[in-house]
Amino acid sequence: MPQLLKNTALISLLTLVSRILGLIRDASIAFVFGTSGRTDAFFIAFRPFDLIRKLFSEGVLSTSFIPVFSKRLDTKGREDALAMVFSFFCFLSVAGVIFILLGFIFAPVIVGTIAPGFGDQPVSANLTVSLFRIMLPYVWCILLVALCMGVLNTLGNFSTPAWAPVLFNLIIIVSALVVCNRMGVGIKGLAAGVAIGGMVQLAIQIPMMVRCGMVGFKPVRSLSLFFQRIRHPGMVDVLKRMGPCMVGAAAYQVNVMIASFFASGLSEGSISYLYYADRLVQFPIALFAVSVATVFLPELSRKAHVGGENEISLIFTNGAKLVFFISFPAMFGLMALDYEIIRLLFGQGRFQETAIAQTSDCLLYLVTGLWAFTGSRIFVTLYFALSQFRLPFFSGIISMGMNVFLCFLLGQILGLKGLVFSVVLSSVIGFTILFLYIPGNARIDKRDLFVSACRSLFISVIMAFLVEKLSIIWVETAGKIANGTQVAVVVLFGMTTYLGLHLIFKTPESKLLKKGFDQITI
């Protein structure tokens, strides 16, 4: 457990760096381009690639690949594991090339499908097609990056894959501020930055893969032996799992993408408002839920192979408690400071007052489902570690189906707010299914988790009340430094109050946090 906490702390730290740069990246895009038809076109074109990245780097490939790879590494040895990696490398390379070719040819059809509202806007539609084609090489890179991440995480290397998004964000920042803004290339330079960023992400993984002995190839004397080597049993097993994993692990990302499709028929800028709000919600999701899931999945998979149900219960319960412990105060904090945070991060350049108000409204609605987004991510990890795929699959299907129905219904009534609220409601439904039907062999005490979550929720409400009282000293100012200082003071006060209340009440969560901190610092 101490090593798990240390790895989680490391991943969280690197993720924090990456997410901060991600916010700077989005602020740079907002500064240069604001919220307009151009940014709507870029975000619509980028959304499928971002979804693929989240599916493979943060979800489907890890959850389907790591349990199989871990088992074969333990039972068959490193030679078999190397053969499995080579087999999967060939498969993903071919799949990536095919996707690029088909994507280039059918780009107009794809754009017409993912942005039906652009049908009456030929300029936006044509720009989206061009941006989509420029970013196509990113797919091949991110597929192989995800494979490297799964292999390295299984071998206990979490830092190298975690550094990759940092470099990606840096490249996008340079593209926005230097290439697009100063060199006058326009938003197509931003799309080129995405493709180049994917190549850099892949490049930094290769040396560590070589060092771990996971890059190698034995020459074969016949074509039949070559194809026999490509069709590794482990790869076939992973492919069987990928479909259910894709639906179960990425329901939230797909739901946001569906909401973006509907938003393409609303007023100009709606897609951008939703994108920026989602980026802020993704911050705590990636920082806590994804970090915990990334570190805990290999360990849970190993325990499942050797029948360590009690250890699985302890590891998962502690991880879930910590995720809820942080998710609820983060949710109330973003709700209380939605406008101030949006103005601080994005309120400059061409990102004007209307954009700030609309984006903060989106954030206020979307963040109410943060506990369900993070909860689903950690619960799906448990199911997949136990090779339980059916329930996450049906949970994802139900969530996405409800989202389409609610978007169609609430979008007509409430507009963009209705679309955002649809994402929240559908995610709550999906999480409820995952929570109610936890596999019995995991021996998870649902009552204990529920009480722990309610405890964190109750203390978060008290914290939010006290933060609201503190807001009476808030002074409206146009200065970035003054505004940022006020936000920082309120956030620090909220964090201190929340942790202080847990310590005063001597909650089990505070004891768990203190124990984990002591183990990390040893």
**What pLDDT score was predicted for residue 31?**
84
Q: 40, 52, 45: which is closest to 111 by C-alpha?
A: 45
- Residue reference for tokens 């963040």: 367
Q: Is residue 318 within 8 Å of residue 511, measured between CB atoms?
A: no
C-beta neighbour count of 171 within 10 angstroms = 21
Q: What is the pLDDT of residues 163-192, one digit of tens each?
A: 888 888 899 998 888 888 776 668 888 899
Q: Which residues of the chain have pLDDT under 70?
A: 1-12, 57-63, 119, 183-185, 215-229, 291, 293-299, 301-309, 471-479, 515-522
Q: What is the pLDDT of residues 40-81, one digit of tens each?
A: 888 888 888 888 887 776 656 666 777 788 778 877 877 887
**What pLDDT score was predicted for residue 397?**
93
Pairwise CA distance, residues 195 & 310, whole Å = 45
Question: How is residue 477 written in tokens?
Answer: 């100012």
- Residue reference for tokens 């790869």: 235
Question: How is residue 201 written in tokens?
Answer: 């992400």
Report the largest interatomic distance among the alpha carbons of the chain, rounded to a whole angstrom. Answer: 78
Pairwise CA distance, residues 131 & 104, whole Å = 11
**What pLDDT score was predicted for residue 228?**
57
Pairwise CA distance, residues 426 & 403, whole Å = 5
Q: 311, 372, 358, 380: which is closest to 58 by C-alpha?
A: 380
Pairwise CA distance, residues 284 & 344, whole Å = 18
Question: How is residue 501 written in tokens?
Answer: 């209340």
Helices (H), 77-120: 78-105, 107-114
